Amino acid sequence: MAAYDVIFVGGGPAGYTGAIRAGQLGLNVACVEFRGSLGGTCLNVGCIPSKALLQSSEFFHHAQHKSAEHGIKYQKVEFDVAQMMKRKDGIVSSLTKGIEGLFKKNKVTYIKGKGTFVNANTIKVATMDGSVEEHTAKSFVISTGSTPIELKAIAPFDGKDIVSSTEALCFEKVPEHLVVIGAGVIGLEMGSVWLRLGSKVTVIEALDRVLPPMDAAVSAEMKKILEKQGMEFMLSTKLTKAEKSGKKVKVTAERDGKPVTIDCDKVLVAVGRRAYTDGLGLEAVGLAPRKDGKLDVNHHYQTAVANIFAVGDVIDGPMLAHKADEEGVAVAEIIAGKPGHVNYEAIPNVVYTWPEVASVGMNEEEAKAKGLNYKTGKVPFMANGRARAFGETDGFVKIIADAKTDRIIGAHIIGPNASELIAELVIGVEFSASAEDIGRSSHAHPTLAEVMKEAALAVDKRSLNF
């Protein structure tokens, strides 16, 4: 029995970051986590392992298809899936252990086990060693994250051939034919990994475009580029069934009212994630998730029970690690009596395909739907010296600014290193920059970042190198 100021339930980006911040602020803090390692989905079975595999597969793809242009020839390029997986697992394990070190440094108690509320001040933890303990706290933060959505009725997960992203990160060999359900972030990232390693990849998407929430120009460009790489898309197509049939998986879908059938080796179902609060004992404190599984909170992240807060994927907003960790910090500050705050207008969104996609703020359709008076500047990487030297000229930067104030309201990049380049425009949005501010800032030459400057100048129809 211990009495804490605050206990974070869930040790993913929201929970572990919040716990560290609470420790920094002098609170007596604990974090309950039952996975056996800290870091949540992101570190264990999401962002980090997928990026490790994306990097390895991109190196292979580069050696095979792009190095000859640079005058580099390999006699034979081979890959070793087991070594890729070993490297990926090593990265995950060192990073998750790193969080344990950060917990010690910031005096956060790590409680290993599954937490269930007993009442609004007490949680019962079934620990990993089989015992049950109770811990009390003045405040709790629910940071239990999310889990892949399963299409139970038509394509139940079997952990081997009809799988979620978790298993698609661990295939022991390259599937001959992988069918991906959902042309969202996971579908395109994991589809890219296996495509580069030699799989035939077919993506089935219910809507009429890839990456549906992204700016339409970016979606169209992404589809074109991935098709050039060999990815096949069946848009406006809805999955109706996926089932084992001998050694294969038979996938049936519906397009224009007609059935389509594909025999493949593996099916990755990537149709979104749902908030995870299973077994948390919400009923014991009088809380209930909404129909979509999420918890309602006020602007201080308080649930209907004043001393129980919630942050990350279990509440509204994009299911992104960096949104979750900002909320973790904000809630720790609020609990410590400080003015914690997250600026949701300045949360970047990234897709780690190659080229990468990154955006912040509104897309053009949203600006149009809101009736905003806006102007846009769009410049391709083709016009940039560094992109030419890099040998990566696909894509563009598009900046959307308010027509009257010139304030940047959205920025969209598809191109090399977009995930890093977007940071400049996120800072721009955070500091209410105008397009002219970016256009008048000196950008090192030659850099990919110059395309941001050119796109900002293009908002006022005065780009210099395009």
268 binds ligand NAI, rule: CB under 6 A = no
CA distance 392 to 59: 14
Cα torsion angle, 71, 75, 81, 85, sign:
negative
Q: Which is nearer to ligand NAI, 204 or 449 (CB)?
A: 204
Q: Which is nearer to ligand NAI, 9 or 169 (CB)?
A: 169
Q: Which amino acid type is present at position 160?
A: K
Q: How far is the CB of 271 from ligand NAI (least distance, A)?
A: 4
Q: Contacts with ligand NAI in 193-232 (CB under 6 A)?
A: 204-207, 212
Q: Which is nearer to ligand NAI, 319 or 433 (CB)?
A: 319
Task: List strand residue ranges (DSSP E) for 188-302, in order.
Answer: 200-204, 232-234, 237-245, 248-255, 258-264, 266-269, 273-275
179 binds ligand NAI, rule: CB under 6 A = no
Q: 101 exposed, middle or buried (CB, 10 Å; 0-12, 13-18, 19+)?
A: exposed
- Residue from 31, 271, 429, 455 touching ligand NAI (CB under 6 A): that is 271
Q: Which is nearer to ligand NAI, 189 or 325 (CB)?
A: 189
Orientation of helix 47-65 relative to helix 81-105, angle to 10°: 140
Q: How far is the CB of 349 from ligand NAI (least distance, A)?
A: 7
Q: Which is nearer to ligand NAI, 183 or 379 (CB)?
A: 183
191 binds ligand NAI, rule: CB under 6 A = no
- Residue from 15, 18, 182, 416 touching ligand NAI (CB under 6 A): that is 182
CA distance 422 to 217: 17
- Residue from 32, 137, 350, 459 touching ligand NAI (CB under 6 A): that is 350
Q: Which stretch binds ligand NAI (CB under 6 A): 73-81, 266-274, 280-288, 386-394?
A: 266-274
Residue 310: closest CA among 287, 284, 291, 339: 287
Q: Which 8-state DSSP code applies to residue 65?
A: H
Q: How far is the CB of 251 from ligand NAI (least distance, A)?
A: 10
Q: Which stretch binds ligand NAI (CB under 6 A): 1-9, 58-66, 338-346, 350-358?
A: 350-358
Angle at 169 between CA 214 and CA 312, to 5 degrees: 55
Active site residue 65: no
Q: How far is the CB of 443 from ligand NAI (least distance, A)?
A: 26
Site string for ligand NAI, 301-340 (x = CB under 6 A): -----------------xxx--------------------
61, 135, 341, 445: which is the annotated catalytic residue?
Answer: 445
Q: 330 exposed, middle or buried (CB, 10 Å; 0-12, 13-18, 19+)?
A: buried
Cα dihedral 14, 15, 19, 21 in deg (nearest 10): 0
Which residue is listed with tokens 């949005």? 429
Q: Which is nearer to ligand NAI, 193 or 397 (CB)?
A: 193
Q: How far is the CB of 189 from ligand NAI (least distance, A)?
A: 6
| Non-local CB neighbours of 263 within 8 Å, separated by 6+ positions | 177, 245, 248, 249, 250, 251
Which residues here bind ligand NAI, judged by CB under 6 A?
A: 181-187, 189, 204-207, 212, 238-239, 270-273, 318-320, 350-352
The catalytic residue positions are: 445
